[in-house]
Structure 1
Amino acid sequence: MSESRPLILHVIHHLVTGGMENGLVNLINHLPENRFRHAVACVEDFSDFRFRLTRSDAPVIALHRSRVGVWRLRRDLFHLCRRLQPTVVHSRNQSGLDALLPARLAGVPYCIHGEHGWDVDDLAGRRLKPALLRRLHAPLVDRYITVSAELRNYLVERVGISARRVTQIINGVDTQRYAPTTHADRWRSLPEGFAVPGSVVIGTVGRLQAVKDQATLLRAFARVATDGDVAASRARLVVVGDGPLRESLRGLAAELGISSLTWFPGAVGNVCELLQAFDLFVLPSLAEGISNTLLEAMATGLPLLATATGGNIELVADEVSGRLFQPRDVAGLGDLLRRYLADSSLRQRHGSAAREVAVARFSLATMLANYQSVYEEFCDRSGQACTPLASRRSDCAAGRAEGG
């Protein structure tokens, strides 16, 4: 295949299990191969998660900033850009800002910067230093992409970026892979004997770290499952994911007396099957951009309980597809769990509504088309052949720059 295809160099902190990383993998795997090449530069490192990339022409490079220092990182990024000669560098989140100046000095024509969520030490985007860093790097950025309206407003109102330079692209979900099951044995992915007839399986999926706050879910579940109510006594909890808090969360479950009712499977490769085993999905995060796992739960047809923060507000229609609750509100979440445990028709109605919204508004195809449109806009400007959409094929082939 001709190497005249433009190269998109994606710069992220690390390529490990996570929502942003999963979105990047979906993007690379599904954008048309005849239009773009891709490479991934990790500011730190990557894990086996990289093998989810199915394209053989998408190298992943680890730069190990914590080991080599920020100045060596910038030098290595400069040389990487000189060697690969990308048409677009697409950096993400704060650590990706370090790629922008090296890319410009290396002659990269265009830089796109994405904002995907908040750090645990800046949950509301109020800290001055992160906003100042973004403002200082703004002259190097041709386009910003945010996954949520909250992040878009942060860039415009807090950082001072012109609204014309910001595009919101909500994450997409594969609504064919993530779908309600008709399999009679939907609990086949759970440990034998964990769920019994009449059980209601509550689940969450996410990296086990402070910002995801699975501890609040454990505490709320314990309040409900141990209060003597017959319906609640059949509840089971599944906490999917791995991370630095795994052992402390397991210890908390033991302390709360719910170890026998709770399963921690770790990081898994069959998330879609586990979601099909759930009856209710809970996302207790302190902050979110647009949660991929929430989208996957929606597509699976699960009713949703999620914190009223970030992009969750854009995804969950309160009292239609689920309920929103305040971060760290153990009592409030406990009350919601009781309500859904006791009412199977409510779970069915809200789950069906969540599925309908996922299919109508948050499909993977919609996300891919939006990113492709942005990439092709800049490839057209550069005059590189990118085999664009039919409406602009002649312009790209002739190497004419598109206005705007």
Structure 2
Amino acid sequence: MGVRMVNIDFLPLLGGAQMHTMRLSRYLSQHGVEVQVITRHHPGLPRYETIDGVSIYRTPIWHPSKVIASISFTIHALRLLQSTRQDYQIIHSHEMLSPMTIGLTASRLGGARLVINPHRGGYLGDVYKLVKQRPITGKMRLRWARRRGDAFVAVSHEIATELGEAGIPRDKIWSIPYLLDTDHFSPTKDEYRRAIRSELGMQDGFWACFTGRLVAEKGLNVLLKAWETVVRHSPDANLVIVGDGDQRSHLEELSEIRGIEKRVRFTGAVTDTVQYLQASDVYVQPSFTEGLPISVLEAMACGLPVIATGVGGVTDLLSTGENGIVIPPHDPDCLSDCLLELLSNRNLRARLGNHGRQDVIAYCAVEKVGQAHLELYHHLVDGHPHSSQPGVEMPES
């Protein structure tokens, strides 16, 4: 079987959708599927390369402006898909904007089966953008997707609900979360943890951690305001922010304004965050909107207690007092209270972290999620039957 993954951006550009696409593609390749990722080219990256058996083709971009870049990506991707039509049976479009348009056009011209995979819900999600921000062309694309899309993958209850409200038939919606290697993302023993801290230059004491893109919707300004309160009560507490993005300089300046710059560390972009997670005591996700935050999954797999805002797929994962703490967005006082509670209660940290790891293993294990995708592809290509609620059974939100 051949599968073509269509994604606007891809590694080494970091994000949940990019990491998931690579991990899924690697799994499929290891199970005999020929996978190619089609994405946009960025300066300094090779046009073609192979990583872990997955071939990556980066299309040229005529101009950096958003509209022209989208048009050039669409045209070049369609040319590639048409020229290699005999080599694949599935197009898996990651996003409902350009990648979906590419998939809809190529599947109609060449007859491949089309999987459409939105990665975000809420006001920054694909359905919202199509319905609210593009009231004419967006609704036309949704009608086209309802007719021509063979299956839709929802990584959270929120996205599944939005797809249903947009008119996608329920039997086309497959609920499948992100795939995660819970052997790689795992807790470490105390002696190794001390060694990791030494290697990373993290002194002894309490450490909270965030990993991800430093962009406005991640709510890091709220985290810094909450951290000011934490430091006032516990002057030796430390926060490490792992990642990069267009908000970094603003956030660094904000930490100085709040007088906490000595207690906040910015690492910049990190390809593999596992050591920072293993070295930390608590994970914090203060986002305003999410799909299924892969960083939360990784933190849970490492046995960290997680404090996260109740947006998107977070409520599929976390239940306050059982395997984490769910808080409202935009609430620095609530966030600081929860941080201080976990800072002072080692037993609570251990209990929440242990339960969180057990739940994420049951939910996102590599074999379970990988097999769900293989079941989906074989259902579309070979007509294999599936259950009335296809995909992976999600926790009740």
Task: Tell me the equivalent position of 2:230.
Answer: 224
Task: Tell me the equivalent position of 2:2.
Answer: 7
Q: 1:308 to 1:31 in 2, by over 3 A?
A: same
Task: Tell me the equivalent position of 1:392.
Answer: none
The yes-or-no answer on 1:107 pairing with 2:110 is: yes
Task: Tell me the equivalent position of 2:389.
Answer: none
Task: Tell me the equivalent position of 1:322.
Answer: 324
1:268 positional shift:
1.3
1:54-93 matches, cutoff 5 A = 54-64=51-61, 67=64, 68-85=68-85, 86-93=88-95
1:224 positional shift:
1.6
The yes-or-no answer on 1:96 pairing with 2:109 is: no
Moved more, 166-175 or 132-141: 132-141
Q: 1:280-327 CA distances to partner (integer Å, 9 max, x unpaired)?
A: 000111111111111111111010100011100011121111111111
The yes-or-no answer on 1:179 pairing with 2:186 is: yes
Task: Tell me the equivalent position of 2:151.
Answer: 143
Residues 44 and 65, structure 1, Cα contact 8 Å, conserved in 2: no
Q: Secondary structure at the match of 1:164?
A: helix
Q: 1:177-202 CA distances to partner (integer Å, 9 max, x unpaired)?
A: 111101514144447796544x1110
| Alpha-carbon distance in 1 for matches of 2:117, 2:5 | 10
Residues 28 and 53, structure 1, Cα contact 8 Å, conserved in 2: no
Moved more, 326-335 or 62-71: 62-71
- The structure 1 residue matched to 2:206, chosen from 190, 195, 200, is 200
Residues 212 and 287, structure 1, Cα contact 8 Å, conserved in 2: yes
Query: Which structure has the larger Rg over C-alpha atoms?
Result: 1
Residues 49 and 57, structure 2, Cα contact 8 Å, conserved in 1: no
Moved more, 87-96 or 281-290: 87-96
The yes-or-no answer on 1:165 pairing with 2:162 is: no
Residues 46 and 58, structure 2, Cα contact 8 Å, conserved in 1: no
Q: Secondary structure at the match of 2:193?
A: coil
| Alpha-carbon distance in 2 for matches of 1:307, 1:176 | 26
How does the TM-score come out when normalised to structure 1?
0.84
| Alpha-carbon distance in 1 for matches of 2:46, 2:174 | 28
The yes-or-no answer on 1:116 pairing with 2:116 is: no
| Alpha-carbon distance in 2 for matches of 1:265, 1:189 | 15
Residues 203 and 240, structure 1, Cα contact 8 Å, conserved in 2: yes
1:29 positional shift:
1.1
1:331 positional shift:
1.0
Q: Secondary structure at the match of 2:105?
A: helix
1:51 positional shift:
10
Q: 1:95 to 1:275 in 2, by over 3 A?
A: same
1:138 positional shift:
2.5
1:246-261 matches, cutoff 5 A = 246-261=248-263
Unaligned runs of 5+ in 1: 1-5, 382-387, 389-404
Percent of aligned pairs sharing the same letter: 25
Task: Tell me the equivalent position of 1:40.
Answer: 37
- The structure 1 residue matched to 2:132, chosen from 128, 134, 158, is 128
| Alpha-carbon distance in 2 for matches of 1:49, 1:24 | 18
Q: 1:192 to 1:51 in 2, by over 3 A?
A: farther
1:299-318 matches, cutoff 5 A = 299-318=301-320
1:32 positional shift:
4.5
Residues 193 and 279, structure 2, Cα contact 8 Å, conserved in 1: yes
| Alpha-carbon distance in 1 for matches of 2:223, 2:299 | 17
Task: Tell me the equivalent position of 1:337.
Answer: 339
Equivalent residue letter for 2:75: R
How many residue pairs get matched?
373
Moved more, 45-54 or 370-379: 45-54
Equivalent residue letter for 1:104: S
| Alpha-carbon distance in 2 for matches of 1:142, 1:47 | 36
| Alpha-carbon distance in 2 for matches of 1:50, 1:178 | 31
Q: Secondary structure at the match of 2:77?
A: helix
Residues 41 and 60, structure 2, Cα contact 8 Å, conserved in 1: yes
1:335 positional shift:
1.0
Q: Secondary structure at the match of 1:106?
A: helix
Q: 1:38-71 CA distances to partner (integer Å, 9 max, x unpaired)?
A: 1111146487699996334513223437544544
Task: Tell me the equivalent position of 2:219.
Answer: 213
Task: Tell me the equivalent position of 1:354.
Answer: 356
Provide the alpha-carbon RMSD of the alignment.
2.8
| Alpha-carbon distance in 2 for matches of 1:178, 1:129 | 38
Residues 25 and 54, structure 2, Cα contact 8 Å, conserved in 1: no
Residues 172 and 295, structure 1, Cα contact 8 Å, conserved in 2: no
| Alpha-carbon distance in 2 for matches of 1:123, 1:57 | 26
Residues 90 and 114, structure 2, Cα contact 8 Å, conserved in 1: yes
Residues 104 and 149, structure 2, Cα contact 8 Å, conserved in 1: no
How does the TM-score come out when normalised to structure 2?
0.86
Residues 28 and 34, structure 2, Cα contact 8 Å, conserved in 1: no
Residues 44 and 64, structure 1, Cα contact 8 Å, conserved in 2: yes
Q: 1:300 to 1:50 in 2, by over 3 A?
A: farther
Unaligned runs of 5+ in 2: 385-397
Moved more, 53-62 or 364-373: 53-62
